[in-house]
Structures are given as structure tokens and as C-alpha cells.
Amino acid sequence: MTIKDTIKKYTKDLREVTHIPAKEVEILMLHILQKNTIWLHLNYNEKFEQEKELEKLVKKRATNYPLEYIINKASFYGESFIVKEGVLIPRPETELLIDNAVEIFKDKKEESLVLEIGTGSGIISVMLALLIKNIKIIAVDINEKALALAKENAIKHNVEDRIEFRLSNLYENVPEENIFLTISNPPYIANNYELPTNVKYEPSNALFGGSIGDELLKDIITQTNKKKISYLLCEMGYDQKKPLEEYFKSFDIKEYSFYKDYENFDRGFTLEFKN
Ligand code: GLN
């Protein structure tokens, strides 16, 4: 069968799990062939020899298993990152967190130290290192597998000398006193929330933040304030603006603002403490 006909044949198997089934079959095919889209378009009428292999991947994907875990790749902020099972898959809305950080560093000339809590695949720290020249980053996580993957991504993007990856639960192993800004996309979903099937393949320790959901966020706010760090930038759940805004009242805060994601849901905040 030709490449073209093979794509057509397997597209129907993915209709239920994605709105771009043909495109996903192509991606799986290219993953098997280790080729790019341009090659594919030039070779549509060639024979495809690895149908058995493709069928296996399509079947796996048809169970709602994430495409990114199959091809071990995800794009974030226009860059390609390695992803692996056991570590959260990057989400487009997390790009907004990057934009907010870039904005803060726009006019800052001196070198500063940034901390990322819960680095996962390392997307946030790697992107910050790529976009902001005068920062050094400490990226922590409680998951050793995530730290190893994040380091791979830092090496892939040539920023491994600017990021130190460290095993730490929040600030536990972070004695540094000179951190200027903390950034985090922490687990913020309520423990009893029923996840959609595609998300069920992702690690629960990257998703669930406590019985209410915002417990970790509150811990991060409290501990960041205690460490006298000026800025805190976090992603959060769509329904957490009110409780967090209320929580802010217990601190001496200079300024704060919430932002919305691409679907117009409340998604996070930038907070400046009065230190
Ligand atoms: N920092 C990573 C991300 O934003 C991982 C976050 C997490 O695991 N909660 O994708």
C-alpha cells in the first residue's frame, strides 16, 4: 500500500481521540520512518513497508494514550522538547507564564537568580534560559525521573550551564538567600477530580494539589514570602482566583495581577511582595 492509502486507512481509527486524525497518523508514520513532513509530501505515492509497526502505534493512540508519549516529543513556545511517561506533557497555556516572566526581566540589567518549583520536563526553565540572558536558574522537582529528563532538555537546547537541577520538595533543599523570582506550574487539581481519559496517563503527582487543589499553591506563596523573594509567578486552576486573592490578604504585597488563558479561563498570577 502507498503512504497515502495507509494514512487514509488508519485515519478512521483515531477519529474518536483527536480532531486531527490524519495528521496524527502522519506524525506516527514519520516517527517510525524518522523523516520530516517535507519528505512525506514528496513521497506520498511510495510504498509504505512498516504497516505492522504503524498499526501497533495507532492502536495504542486509539486508547487515548497521549501522542507525545508515543513519539517522545512535544512542542512548547515554538521549540521541541523531549517528553517521557511519568512526566507532565507541556500545555500551551503555560507559555503565558513565560511571557509574564520575560516582561519582568525586560528592564533588569543585573544578573539574577530564578527558582522554578516543579520543573517536570524542564520546559519553563529551559525557555527562560533561552529568552532571558542575565539569569541563572535553580530548577527543583520531587521526581528524579523528571529532573533527568529536564537536564536532557537543557542539554538539547544548550542551556545546561545556566540551570542547576536539584531534588527538592518546594524550598526544602534551597538554602539560597538571593533568589529574585520564583516561578511554578504546580499541581493544582483537587485530588477527587475525575480526569478526562487522555490526562489519566499523566503522573498524578504532577496534577493533584490536595483535597481542595490549591494547597500547594498556598504553601508556595507562604514559603516564597518567608524567603523574602520579590516575585512569584504561578499557574493555577480556573476556579482558584477568588480563594488565592483572599489568601494574598495575609501578606504584605506591593502588586498582583491575574491572567487568563487562551480559552478565557483564569489561569495564573504574578505577585510582587513588598520586600
Ligand atoms: N513545569 C512543568 C510544566 O509546566 C511541569 C509542571 C508539573 O509537573 N506540574 O509543564
Q: How many domains does the chain have?
A: 2
Last residue of a domain, one of 19, 47, 63: 63
Whether 6 and 49 have beta carbons less than 8 Å apart is answered as no
Residues 233 and 122 in one domain: yes
pLDDT (0 to 100) of residue 275: 76
Question: Cα of 9 to ligand 1 centre, how many Å?
Answer: 36
The predicted structure's pLDDT at residue 135: 98
- The reply to whether 50 and 108 lie within a common domain is no
Q: In this structure, are 140 and 9 located in the same domain? A: no
Q: Is residue 174 part of a domain?
A: yes
The predicted pLDDT at position 262 comes to 95
Per-residue pLDDT tens, the chain, 275 aa: give them: 999 999 999 999 999 999 999 999 999 999 999 999 999 999 999 999 999 999 999 999 999 999 999 999 999 999 999 999 999 999 999 999 999 999 999 988 899 999 999 999 999 999 999 999 999 999 999 999 999 999 999 999 999 999 999 999 999 999 999 999 999 999 999 999 999 988 999 999 999 999 999 999 999 999 999 999 999 999 999 999 999 999 999 999 999 999 999 999 999 999 999 97
> What's the pTM value of the predicted model, to 2 decimals?
0.95
Residues 146 and 34 in one domain: no
Please indicate, yes or no, if residue 40 is contained in any of the structural domains. Answer: yes
Residue-number span of the structural domain to which 256 is assigned: 87-273
Q: Are residues 230 and 129 in the same domain?
A: yes
- Same domain, yes or no: 37 and 139: no
Residue 271 CA, ligand 1 centroid: distance in Å: 19
The owner of cell 498524578 is 204
159 shares a domain with 264:
yes
Residues flanking ligand 1, CB < 6 Å = 88, 90, 94, 118-121, 123-124, 185-187, 206
Ligand 1, pocket-test mutation among 123, 185, 204, 215, most atoms within 8 A of CB: 185
Q: Is there a single domain that holds both residue 159 and residue 29?
A: no
CATH number at residue 118: 3.40.50.150
Closest Cα to atom 5, ligand 1: which residue? 120
- The answer on 102 and 59 residing in a single domain is no
* Domain end position, chosen among 63, 78, 113: 63
Can you tell me the distance from the alpha carbon of 182 to that of 162, in angstroms, rounded to the nearest whole number?
16
**Is 139 within the bounds of a domain?**
yes
List the residue whose alpha carbon is closest to atom 8 of ligand 1: 206
44, 105: one domain = no
Whether residue 39 is contained in a domain is answered as yes
Same domain, 53 and 187: no
188 and 153 together in one domain: yes
Task: Report the nearest-CA residue for atom 1 of ligand 1.
Answer: 119
Secondary structure, 3-state, the chain: CEHHHHHHHHHHHHCCCCCCHHHHHHHHHHHHHCCCHHHHHHCCCCECCCHHHHHHHHHHHHCCCCHHHHHCEEEECCEEEECCCCCCCCCHHHHHHHHHHHHHHCCCCCCEEEEEECCCCCHHHHHHHHHCCCEEEEEEECCHHHHHHHHHHHHHCCCCCCEEEEECCCCCCCCCCCEEEEEECCCCEECCCCCCHHHHHCCHHHCEEECCCCHHHHHHHHHHHHCCCCEEEEECCCCCHHHHHHHHCCCCEEEEEEEECCCCCEEEEEEEECC
- Ligand 1 centroid–CA 42 distance in Å is 37
